[in-house]
Structure 1
């Protein structure tokens, strides 16, 4: 089996798994750990090339790219298929990220509630503020791959910015933060 056939088989299995998750649960969740947190990243270390120049060339932009995230994030795949932007949450551990996204995705697919930028979703804990991500092509790579969308025509995505237990958001005075600060939409890339 040549490498291209092996890669095609791997991609077919991945696509099948994502499709099964979407059919069974409404969405597939992608959790991205910070660099160095997982075994494969520790092995690669600093030797991994930065794809920033390639991304800038693909986007046709001469401007400087936003910095890479140095915190975990998680996003959905499957909401675009029902006409809604994908959802992204930053700075939470894997189990909390998945709980938040599953609950929010259920609001969209199960209760047919379209989330819109500026909306606070108070029925979920923590409270979530829906914010549009201006550069989703630099973040939701697997969603774009699944929907066969080029970087320049990325699936849209919303960031769900979470509040502390008292309902305060990152910019509110007295906010109790977690181990990571939530980056603002457009100020980061994967």
Structure 2
């Protein structure tokens, strides 16, 4: 999108802001999906499909918790994993870097990691909370195992490392 939105883009952004706020009010969290389908922004020429799709929550920062991001997972797993992890937080849990998490909805283990460059990723969350990139909402990356239970830093990891890069080694651009 251009730096100065067109009138159509401004109208779309206003409607999207209202939609995000409504979803958070009703469900406690809204999911921002990137690279998993068509782009709905008027006039956008981006490629909506990505070899590295990712998604993150918007809404947890409002209850003093970092937002959650997961990389390289497609639908419907991404919605199930993020909604389940967010439900833990909304029910009072605090996810912290270095923690191992098991979710009943998924057969993979998750390792929670701090993202050092959240301002380069969480554009929608920062828009919702009206924060500039340099004062971004914090993000925790949910790093998951391959189908043999190995994390990406294990030399025997069988997943595609480029689909699940290490925190700080990727951004949304």
**TM-score, with structure 2 as normaliser:** 0.82
RMSD of equivalent CA atoms = 2.7
Q: Where do 1:41-190 residues align within 5 Å?
A: 44=45, 70-110=51-91, 112-124=92-104, 125=106, 126-177=108-159, 181-190=163-172
CA distance in 2, matches of 1:45, 1:7: 14
Q: Choose 1 or 2 for highest CA Rg.
A: 1
CA distance in 2, matches of 1:156, 1:171: 23
Structure 2's unaligned 5+ residue stretches are none
Contact 2:112 2:140 in 1 (8 A): yes
Structure 1's unaligned 5+ residue stretches are 47-68
Deviation larger for 8-17 or 22-31: 8-17
More helix by share: 1
- Report the secondary structure of 2:45's partner residue: helix
1:11 to 1:38, Cα distance in 2 relative to 1, 3 A: closer
Partner of 1:21: 23
CA distance in 1, matches of 2:28, 2:95: 16
1:8 Cα deviation after fit:
4.3
